[in-house]
Structure 1
Amino acid sequence: MFLATECVVSFLTVVTNGLVLAAVVHNPALRKPGNWFVVNLAVADLFVGVLTPPLVIISETSVIKNFYLCILNNSVIGAIVINSFTSLACLVYDRFSLVRNAFHTSTTESVMAKLGLSWVVSLAFGMVPLMGWHNDRSEYRQCRYREVIPLEYNVYLQMFGFFIPFLLAMLIVHTLVFREFRKSNRLMAYKSHETRRLVRYLTKREKRLFESLVLIFILFTVCWLPHYIVTCIHLFCPETMVNFYMEFFFVTLTHTNSVVNPVVYALGQSEFRHALHKLFPFLFTADKYYQGTSSHMRQIPSCEECWI
């Protein structure tokens, strides 16, 4: 059951994230700086779908006998998990910048620098067990994740180092965005008719971005929090027994986050759906909103007096 479930999740992860990459490859219009955050997250999630299930299965079935190869195998799992966090954080930061400033643009160089840093951080912290933070070799019996990787690594580094700070950052982002909406609504009364039309259009766009941020927060929390709660129980209350099937379900739930990510960030955008409709017209319907965007944009006034 474990193997079959992991294979299904892995297949769905490859399909959903593969659609995102296919849309970008076949549509040059999507290759703009802001979308590289989406592409990077799709690549990170592909690693989760393609590499994590096999590595977890190898670890849990004790195929590897060498102690250091076992640590390397499980360190790669840790690096993939952290990379998923950092890639998601980069995307959220870009979406937040768009909500704070509707005319925010990123250069390709700045985007690549941020993404490169996220991968370096992921690899550096993911390989910490290989550098010495692992269980004693003398106690090594079989290549299972908890046999070689300390629970403290998962709790103190992954959870308190990346997971909780990301959740706190998301709460701060939602608070700041809510204030921006209130500020925009107060300023509407002092603007000209033409400028109000533009502000209303941009506010709708920002509202969709804000809704995606809320969905990001909910899905990320639902998928990852139960797993870390169980890990904390194992560390701080080792005498407490946790049902094996429940624990397995929570591990699988963390992997499903990579399935839903592209649905929220990419497939929910008109430009991506339009590109996928051209590639797979039998799977995706034409987006009427996207088709009418160009003519609508021509009716929007100049942005010289957009913000006071």
Structure 2
Amino acid sequence: MKNIFAIGLDIGGSHITAGVIAVNEMKLIEVSLYKESFDSNLQADQVMDIWERVIRTSWKNSGVEEFVGISVCMPGPFDYANGICWIKGQTKYEHFYGLDVRKLIRDRLNLSDDFPVLFENDADCFGKGEVFKNAENRSRKVMAVTLGTGLGACFIDKAEAITTGNKVPTDGELYNSPYKDSIAEDYVSARGLIAHYQQLSGRKIDSGLEIFNLATAGDEIASEAFRNLGEDLAVIVAPWLKTFEAECFIIGGKIANASVFFLTAFEEKLKKQGCEVPVLISSDNEIAALLGATSLIYKEYFNQNESAFLY
């Protein structure tokens, strides 16, 4: 079979990563991996300048001449079928509300109106990608979360994202689940970590990275802030791990890189919630997201379910 290639994009609140995927093998062309950090609250045309540069750089570095589609991991709220952004009031993509992101990408790259540009929830992409990476998970029920500027969640059963039914929260989302005096994302995210630290220290910190650096340097308050986040995460996910009957739980996102500071607290609290399940920390969140996104292209191009090529 002739090799076909697609561009995968992992788009977050403060970064974009692009990579060219050999779809037949579901493998990343490593030299194509390219990432830039940026302020997603810039005007839309400025953000698109950055996206275009990243996509074209990845494409050029890959050495691939043609690709059959673009698949995008995108945070919500977002109309994934129609490519419309509905993010508002989340300190990211404030100027994208109501925009047709599919058209923006096609226009920037001079693509035809029928060229496949597909979108998927970023957490679902991450979860699917982790399943592709680990053969043992391909027949399991897997719950995964991404911890970063927001809280993403996905529920995967035999490589399919489950978003309906009484075994998962509404739309498979956790970020807006009621928790304490607010919602889950206000406690388990970068802003949640910042709030934990401020409550403990009385000091306002601008970023989660600063708290990570403090914890790394031995600051006990910063370490406690991470532990509090871990405990909150356990309380939030435990009921759904039980209801979904998850056989594996995976943590990804930028905050997962600081798991040394919260994993023990998370696992201990999880056990107290009466829930014992293997917990994994993703070692390459972005590659997992790119692979998960590209599964949409495989499905589109070969017109079959992902499960057909997983076994």
Choose between structure 1 and 2 for higher RCO, CA contacts under 8 A separated by at least 6 residues: 1
Q: Which has the greater radius of gyration?
A: 1
Greater share of strand: 2
TM-score, normalised to structure 2, is 0.32
TM-score (norm 1): 0.32
